[in-house]
Amino acid sequence: MYKAANFSYRFLNDADNILEFLNEVTRAVLSHYGEAIPKLILSSLKHLLVESMTNSIKHSGIMNCNVSMYFENKYIEIIKEDDGKPFTHHLCPQWPLSDDHITDHPLLIYKGNMDKLLAKVESPCKISFYAETEIDTELDFEKYQLRNFGLLIITKCSKSFTYEYFPEKNINRFSMILSLE
Amino acid sequence: MIEVQYINDYTLITISDSQANLQNAEMFRIEVLKVLDTRNKNLIIDFSNVAYVDSTFLSVLVAILKAAMKEGGDVAIF
C-alpha cells in the first residue's frame, strides 16, 4: 500500500545547499515530534543526512537526488533516491552482483583504527551495511581511508542502512532507519 | 576562511565559515599546513562558528594532526 511521505525534498547536489536542507528537515521534525525530541537524535539525523547528501554530491554524477522521510512513532525512515552512478566498490563492482560476488561472507567496505564497515549481500541488487568496533591499540593514521568513511558515519547513526539498485530504471535507493528510542 | 592568532606556544585557528565540508576542506588543509610551516606546531582549532562538519573535512583534520605530530606538535579542537 502506498504511504505518503511526511517530508519530501529535491536536493540539488551542491554543498552550498546542505545547511538549508538541514534547516528544512529540522523544522519538519520539530513540527511533527515537538521540542521534546532528544538532541542526540536530532544530531544523529543531521550527521546521517550530511553524509548522504555529501555522498550524492561526490559520487552520483548527476544534478540532484530525492529525499523522502516517514515519521513513525518509534523511528524515522529516510529514503534517498537518484538515477546517477550506482554505488561501486571493488567487492561489488557492478549491479546486479554476479555469482562471483554473492557470498555468505560479509564484504569489508571500510576499515579504520576503530571500526570496520561491512556489508551483507541480501540479494543480487541489495546490500545492508553494519559496523563492528575493532580498536587498534596503536594509533596508525596510515589506516585512515577517505573513501567510504561517510558510509560508516551513516551506518553508526542508523538502526539499519541498506543500498538497493533497480536496474530496470537505473535507480539507486539508500534506505536508513533512525531509531527514536 | 580562517583567522590565526599566535598565543605563546600555541596557534589558535578560528574557522570563520559556517560549514566545514567538502567545498572548503582542501582550502582549509592548505591554509593550516602553511600556518604549521611558519611557527608553532601546536594548533587549537575553534569550530564555534561551524554548524556542521562532514567526513571530508574530518579526513582533512586527520591529515593535519598527522602533519603536526610529525613535527612534534599536536592539535586540539573545540
A139 pLDDT band, cuts 50/70/90, is low
Cross-chain CB nearest to A15 (options B21, B51, B55):
B21
CB contact under 8 A, B18 and A22: no
Is B62 an interface residue toward A (CB < 8 Å)?
yes
Q: Give the DSSP H or E segment for B6.
A: strand B2-7
CB contact under 8 A, A50 and B23: no
Global ipTM: 0.86
Pairing of strands A75-82, A64-71: antiparallel
Please, which residues bridge with residue A108 across strands?
A: A118
Output the pLDDT for position A143.
55
CB contact under 8 A, B23 and A15: yes
CB contact under 8 A, B54 and A144: no
Predicted confidence (pLDDT) per residue in A23-81, tens digit: 999 999 999 999 889 999 999 999 999 999 999 999 999 999 999 999 999 999 999 99
Say how many C-beta atoms besides its own lie within 10 A of residue A166's C-beta.
15
Predicted confidence (pLDDT) per residue in B25-34, tens digit: 999 999 999 9
Cross-chain CB nearest to B22 (options A46, A54, A153):
A54
Closest CA to B77 of B34, B26, B31, B20: B20
- What residues have CB less than 8 Å from A134, skipping those under 6 apart? A111, A114, A115, A116
Using a CB-CB distance cutoff of 8 angstroms, which residues of chain B are in contact with residue A18?
Answer: 19, 21, 52, 54
Q: What percent of chain A has pLDDT over 70?
A: 94
| Mean pLDDT of the A83-87 span | 95
| Mean pLDDT of the B2-24 span | 94
Contact call for residues B41 and B30 (beta carbons, < 8 A): no
Output the pLDDT for position A140.
61
Using CB atoms within 10 Å of the CB of residue B30, give its burial: 0 to 12 exposed, 13 to 18 middle, 19+ buried: exposed
Output the pLDDT for position B19.
94
Output the pLDDT for position A12.
97
Terminal Cα distance for chain B, rounded: 17
